[in-house]
Amino acid sequence: MNTATRVLVTGGAGFIGSHYVRTLLGPSGPGGTQVTVLDKLTYAGNPANLDPVRDHPGFGFVHGDVCDPVLVDKLVSEHDQIVHFAAESHVDRSIAGAEAFVRTNVLGTQTLLDAAVRNRISTVVQVSTDEVYGSVDTGSWTEAQPLGPNSPYAASKASADLIALSHHRTHGLDVRVTRCSNNYGPYQFPEKVVPLFITRLLRGGRVPLYGDGSHVRDWLHVDDHVRALELVRTRGRAGEVYHVGGGTELSNRELTDLLLEACGADRSRVDHVEDRKGHDRRYSVDWTKIRDELGYRPGKDFATGLAETVAWYRDNPSWWQPLLDRAAL
């Protein structure tokens, strides 16, 4: 009799989703788990991210759209749990055009949740972001903070979170929402600041610093994020929101200096560019709840994590160079 837990991972070919899948099916994973990845393979979804687990007997892949109700209903009916990563996630792209963000992040989440209710799924983890709260000058947002998103991306994720939680309250669906700070690590598509700066600097190019560079973010290694997600999936409570922080707050200027040093470059390679529209000054989430309830603490110190990340991009140009060529980043 097959007692393996069947987990559907949407957006599992992206940066964080693929790291989650590789961890779940890797030697340090829980075992007894079957994973199916549903991914549309947009520009940020890369099949190569899943190569390390492609031959695992518990792995399956479906090329498809989370907004396709027929496909989603079929897949959901074959699984026990869902971890929902699939999303458009780049703020600059949402400012240029929000339609894809509303479609994928809002309609896609609703499509998935409706199928979960019909098929009596045991648990859904909705993976979200600290950006749904907007900016905070001092202190840190708790999970009780009302949402105040400022970018179209953040607004679409806030909408998805509210739809997810409404399915818990209305239908009794076991939904657990996570909101994380800025992730970094290997396999991250090079439009985000850390891999963008690393790949440009490694090629001898220049990097753009928005505005005065004083915007502050908390940095979370993807290893720690994935550990937190597993704690929430396996031990979290239905209808709850959990913050996942990294414990390293840096201004963009400070981050830039660290990346320059790690790549053997100096400040002459920095271009100061016009600030992003509606650019939030600071994000900070209080992750006391997940620490006290589930025992989460970030384990990767930033200096080590950043050095490892730079080394990975330096050693794997065959992964990122084709992406740069296609996207002209």
* Residue positions annotated with a catalytic role: 130-131, 153
Q: Roughly how many angstroms between the first and final C-alpha of the chain, as a whole number?
A: 50
The C-alpha atoms of residue 247 and residue 239 are separated, in whole angstroms, by 25
CA angle 136, 139, 142 (to 5 degrees): 85
Q: How many CB atoms lie within 10 A of CB 29?
A: 18
User: Is the CB of residue 239 less than 8 Å from the CB of residue 175?
Assistant: yes
The residue assigned the tokens 């396996």 is 234
DSSP class of residue 138 equals S
Among candidate residues 197, 192, 194, the one with its CA nearest the CA of residue 207: 197
| Distance, CA of 236 to chain centre | 19
Q: Which conformational region is residue 134 in: left (phi greater than 0), alpha (psi within -120 to 50 degrees), or beta?
A: left
